Amino acid sequence: MDLVFALENFPRLLKATILTIELTFLSLFFGIFVGVFFAILRASKIKILFFISYYYSYIFRGTPLLVQIFIIYFGLAQLEWIRESFLWIVLKEPYSCAIIAFTLNTGAYSSEIFRSAFETINKGIVEAAESLGLNKINTFLRIKLPIAIRQSLPAYGNEMILMLKGTSLASTVTLLDLTGVAKHIISTTFRPVEVFIVAGSIYLIITFIIHNIIKFLEKKYSFNS
């Protein structure tokens, strides 16, 4: 490995990492809301709401993220009524298109994680809360949600790492994230091994950090403490 070459390109890759972290963070942030929303719909007794949530999750988990981002970026831009509507302010930019695609994708996976977390909540706890006079909203916010969050931490940690990897697809819609810059350096210098090691290590370091944050949270909110 050519250390000098690797070091020369390190600052460029590090700078691109900022975009990668930004995309990951924002998508996960919005994705949690989308995920919780659809998990609630999924528990609904109203059939149509259930099916909306079911098919949303089915479609986004059953197709590759690359297809999703291409439909949102290249596909929607083709429609004149979209370009003339207020939606275009958001869809015009590759940055926001990427975040929308990632959010919808992680939202689908998260909704499944949260759904199964809600399902495993002991009914007795909920009944106890209600018998103590907590109303439905309070029972949800103060009892069900915290338990579900704790319950879904390990699976959600995995989803965070998958999303971090997923942001690499931003490079297919003109954004220069870590993978985009790495690709650019590879195709101009023809030195794949060095670039792979440097960029790959950066991804692994972020993965490591996420992994430890989740571990810390799991410990902090473990039921035994």
Whole-angstrom Cα distance, residue 91 to residue 95? 9
* Residues ≥6 apart with Cβ < 8 Å to 59: 108
Number of residues this chain uses to bind other proteins (CB under 8 A): 49
DSSP for 17-52, written as a single string: HHHHHHHHHHHHHHHHHHHHHHHHHHH-SSHHHHHH
Q: How many CB atoms lie within 10 A of CB 179?
A: 21
Indicate which single residue of 7, 29, 43, 83 sits in contact with other proteins (rule: CB under 8 A).
83
Residue 41 vs 206, nearer CB to other proteins? 206
Token reading at 99: 């975040």
Q: How far is the CB of 153 from other proteins (least distance, A)?
A: 18
CA dihedral 117, 121, 127, 129 (to 10 degrees): -70
Residue 60 vs 139, nearer CB to other proteins? 60
Binding mask 166-205 for other proteins (x = CB under 8 A): xxxx-xx-x----x--xxx-xxx-x-xx--xx-xx--xx-
105 binds other proteins (CB under 8 A): no
- Give contact residues for other proteins (rule: CB under 8 A): 1, 58-59, 62-68, 70-71, 74-79, 83, 88, 92-94, 161, 165-169, 171-172, 174, 179, 182-184, 186-188, 190, 192-193, 196-197, 199-200, 203-204, 207
